[in-house]
């Protein structure tokens, strides 16, 4: 890698919650940061405090009236029935909470900055980013803005013309695919659970040619992800030779996640990242979904280890273990957490049969690829 990897984070995530009953009641970015610091993996020169995107910066993708509604919701802690209906704030799992403007604006500010910091090459991890469902004029799927779209636009605005957005969250990256439906400079590839919300991203959905979707069946395992990596993702990277890659690493495709039925171990995420890194002159790694606090923190800390070439320890040192033991989780999985959630970063691998549907989807994703966009930057 040409430069030292940077991690863009913020303390806003530590005290912010979507509310006690919401899947995002749990701490995620703050736990990941505590964990990598406890491991000695985050010296001050690699950490950047995320800026908060201004309303003007958000307006590159979002409607000004929607941004104003988010700011009003934060200031008043309520929305009118008309605003709820129109902007889906306070509806559909997108609650009004104390940082309902600043938190998403921080995630956007981080990803926009990551795009700018990588213009000359390099790697930036933004665990608070990855809000891939956000729409220009409304909230969707716990996402109020779409930091990924804004970061990709920052790359485009700087002159890049050949970008790959790769999304391995359990849910379809619908907001990003739709944002670039008419812009072949951004190719999107999403691997997600079939038949799950938002119920888009079918195998046949190609958004005019420069999108691919690989819906995968329940129980999707490490061997199947490795198949997709070698039979779809890497061939696509070799074909496109993108100038930049944005990788959305939602942790909700992990076996222990309460919101999906996929069965990856976190080795799958690290394997994908390690392989993609070699083909990405500019790389921004985002977070995304992930609703089991232990799984999310261990997964994303492991990604940071890969970016830096740190070996994953067999057993965590006491300070790191204490971070994980300090978590609580008010769901079934939190009642009796297995010991390895406290003492390790790497899950036991979860290999399995590579099912025919996965093989077929990989082959279909490579059919009729568009020509590589001309590189003008
Ligand atoms: Zn998700």
Question: Which residue would you say has higher pLDDT here, 195 or 372?
Answer: 195
- Torsions phi, psi for 174 (to 5 deg): -65, -40
Cα 336 to middle of ligand 1, angstroms: 24
What is the overall mean pLDDT for the chain? 96
Q: Give the pLDDT mean for 88-111.
A: 98
Q: 276 CA to middle of ligand 1, Å?
A: 20
Residues 6+ apart with CB under 8 A from 204: none
Q: Say which of 62, 132, 133, 172 is annotated catalytic.
A: 133
Residue 207 pLDDT exceeds 80: yes
Q: What is the pLDDT of residues 10-49, one digit of tens each?
A: 999 999 999 999 999 999 999 999 999 999 999 999 999 9
Calculate how far, in angstroms, residue 21's C-alpha sits from the geometric centre of ligand 1: 18
Neighbours of 77 (CB within 10 A): 12
Whole-number Å distance, alpha carbon 189 to ligand 1 midpoint, is: 15
- Summarize pLDDT for 57-70 with one digit per residue, the tens: 999 999 999 999 99
Q: What is the pLDDT at residue 376?
A: 54
Question: Residue 237 Cα, ligand 1 centroid: separation in angstroms?
Answer: 23
Measure 252 CA to ligand 1 centroid, in angstroms. Answer: 6
**375: confidence class by pLDDT, cuts 50, 70, 90:** low
Distance 45 CA to ligand 1 centre (A): 31
pLDDT at 161 exceeding the cut of 90: yes
pLDDT for residue 82 = 98
Average pLDDT over residues 111-138: 98
Whether the CB-CB separation of 304 and 345 falls below 8 Å is answered with no
Spacing, Cα 260 to ligand 1 middle (Å) = 8
Between CA 13 and CA 24, with CA 18 as vertex, the angle to 5 degrees is 75
Dump pLDDT digits (tens) for 316-340. 999 999 999 999 898 887 888 999 9
Mean pLDDT across the stretch 355-368?
Answer: 97
> CA 82, CA 169: separation in Å to the nearest integer?
32
Question: For position 377, what pLDDT does the model report?
Answer: 44
Q: In what order do the strands lie in the sheet with 282-286?
A: 47-49, 6-9, 122-126, 282-286, 244-248, 163-167, 186-193, 211-216
- Contact between 104 and 145 under an 8 Å Cβ cutoff? The reply is yes
Cα(166) to ligand 1 centroid in Å equals 13
Is 310 annotated in the active site?
A: no
Among the listed ranges 177-181, 213-217, 363-367, 371-375, which one has the minimum average pLDDT value?
Answer: 371-375
Span 292-312, mean pLDDT? 98
pTM: 0.97
> Mind giving me the DSSP string for 95-144?
---TTTTHHHHHHHHHHHHHHHHTTTSEEEEETT---TT-BTTB-BTTBS
């Amino acid at each position: 890698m040409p430069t030292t990897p940077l991690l863009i984070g913020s303390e806003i995530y530590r005290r912010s919650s979507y509310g006690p009953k919401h899947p995002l009641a749990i701490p995620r970015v703050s736990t990941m940061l505590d964990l990598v610091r406890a491991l000695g993996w985050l010296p001050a020169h690699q950490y950047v405090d995320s800026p908060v995107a201004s309303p003007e910066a958000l307006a590159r993708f979002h409607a000004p009236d929607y941004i104003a509604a988010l700011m009003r919701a934060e200031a008043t802690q309520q929305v009118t029935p008309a605003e709820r209906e129109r902007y889906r704030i306070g509806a559909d799992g997108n609650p009004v909470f104390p940082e309902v403007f600043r938190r998403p604006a921080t995630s956007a500010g981080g990803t926009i900055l990551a795009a700018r910091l990588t213009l000359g090459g390099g790697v930036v991890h933004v665990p608070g980013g990855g809000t891939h469902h956000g729409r220009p004029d409304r909230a969707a799927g716990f996402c109020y803005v779409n930091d990924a779209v804004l970061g990709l636009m920052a790359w485009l605005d700087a002159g890049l013309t050949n970008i790959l957005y790769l999304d391995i969250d359990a849910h379809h990256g619908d907001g990003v695919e739709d944002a670039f439906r008419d812009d072949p400079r951004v190719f999107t590839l999403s691997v997600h659970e079939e038949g799950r919300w938002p119920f888009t991203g079918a195998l046949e959905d190609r958004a005019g040619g420069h999108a691919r979707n690989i819906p995968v069946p329940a129980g999707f395992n490490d061997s199947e992800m490795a198949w997709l990596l070698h039979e779809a993702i890497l061939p696509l990277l070799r074909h496109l030779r993108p100038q930049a890659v944005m990788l959305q690493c939602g942790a909700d495709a992990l076996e222990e996640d309460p919101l999906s039925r996929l069965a990856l171990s976190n080795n799958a995420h690290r394997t994908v990242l390690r392989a993609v890194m070699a083909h990405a002159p500019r790389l921004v790694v985002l977070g995304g979904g992930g609703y089991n606090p232990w799984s999310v923190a261990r997964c994303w800390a492991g990604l940071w280890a890969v970016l830096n070439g740190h070996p994953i320890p067999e057993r965590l040192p006491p300070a790191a273990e204490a971070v994980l033991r300090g978590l609580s989780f008010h769901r079934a999985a939190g009642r009796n957490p297995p010991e390895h959630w406290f003492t390790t970063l790497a899950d036991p691998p979860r290999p399995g049969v590579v099912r025919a549907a996965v093989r077929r989807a990989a082959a279909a994703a490579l059919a009729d690829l568009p020509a590589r966009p001309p590189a003008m930057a």
